[in-house]
Structures are given as structure tokens and as C-alpha cells.
Structure 1
Amino acid sequence: MRDIYAEAVDLSGSRVECPCGVAFFVVIISAIQNRQIQAGTLILGDLTIQGNIKGPASIVESLQIAMESRALRALVPLSNKSQFAGLPEEVVEKLDIVFYGDVDRAVIKSVEI
């Protein structure tokens, strides 16, 4: 077992909130397991200090940009599922959108088997 400590420091002193993205957590776990994240994967969401998932206010713009950048799949917090119906058809057609409810599921759904 390994302990990993990461600290985000606001060097500007402006007290800007610095949440840990789920993507950061997934990258750390994939490095420990020596497994790669599936190519073309976008991971949305933040992780609170309590381990809760906090979704972005809107997924529309992020997924549109991901599609234009030729991403293949997007992991999206379950809390954003209600926004799925408002996505442009082209985004839904071209991106494999996968919802997750906790960081363990995000890791499982994003690393290569």
C-alpha cells in the first residue's frame, strides 16, 4: 500500500479555491497501478475533501469542445445527468458519454483493461 499526499498551493495569495479534479485522482491511481487511461478520454468533475463528487455547473460547453477536439469519450458526474437531454445531437452521437457516481467507478471506467 502507498500513501500519496498532494497539496495545491495558491502562490498568488488570492485565496482562490483549488478543488482536486477527479481527473487528477484518476491519473494518480492509474500511475500507481501502472495502467494507462483510455486514449481520447475527458473526465469532468471535482472531488471534495470528504470524497464527494461535485459536477460542473454545465457540461454542454465542455462536451462540445471535447467533441471538436476529437475526444472519444467523456466521463461525467451523475449529478449532471439531467443536462444530457440538452446536449446537441452531434455531441451525443460522436462522444461516448459515461456517467459515474464515485471516484472508484471513474477509475474503473477510464483505465485500460
Structure 2
Amino acid sequence: MTSVDRITLVDDASVICEDVASALLSQETRYQHNRIAGLVSAISDQVVQRMTQEAKLPRKYVVLVTILQKNGAGVQMISSCSWNPTSDACYVHKAENKAMYCIITVYGVTV
């Protein structure tokens, strides 16, 4: 087993999701419903683009972005995948600012 074989989706996705979420959420100081579709699209596009360019293992990526307004309600999310449990995986990243929560789920499927 080489060191590349030990690289996981978390290794690739954690830094990318943190960078993208931090950069884009820092620009939004209020939850504005009419801006959320564009924000979701920008986050998912940038995560997929960077994962495709920077990830160390060749995979196909599916990215799901959920944005919730902070209003006192709780949220619980879970996600998993098992197409090929030895090589495919999913990673969930939570980011937030004063106005909203952002949950980014990245599915990595080997080719």
C-alpha cells in the first residue's frame, strides 16, 4: 500500500470545503432568500472545480449544499454512501456565520 492509497476523501475535501465556505459565507452578513440559490450554486461549483483539479485520487464528485437560516430551529443531517465501500466515500462539512448554516456534502466515487 503506497501513501497515495491511504489518502481519503477527508484529506482532499476538508481543506477545500473550509476555504470555499469561509470565502463565500464571509461575504454574506444577512440571510437573504433571493441570494441563496446563487450562493448554493457558487459553493457547489467551486467545490467540484477544486476537487477535480486538486484532489490526489481520481474520482467523480457529487456535491450537495444546504443553507439554513439561523432562527433558533435545530437541524440534524446524516449522509452515507456504499457503492464501493473500499474506495467510495462521503464527507460532510458544516460552516456557519451569524445569519446562516451551510452544510456541504461531498460524495467521492472512484472511476
Report the TM-score range of the alignment, normalised by the length of the smaller protein. under 0.3
Higher relative contact order (CA 8 A, sep 6+): 2
- TM-score, normalised to structure 1, is 0.27
Higher strand share: 2
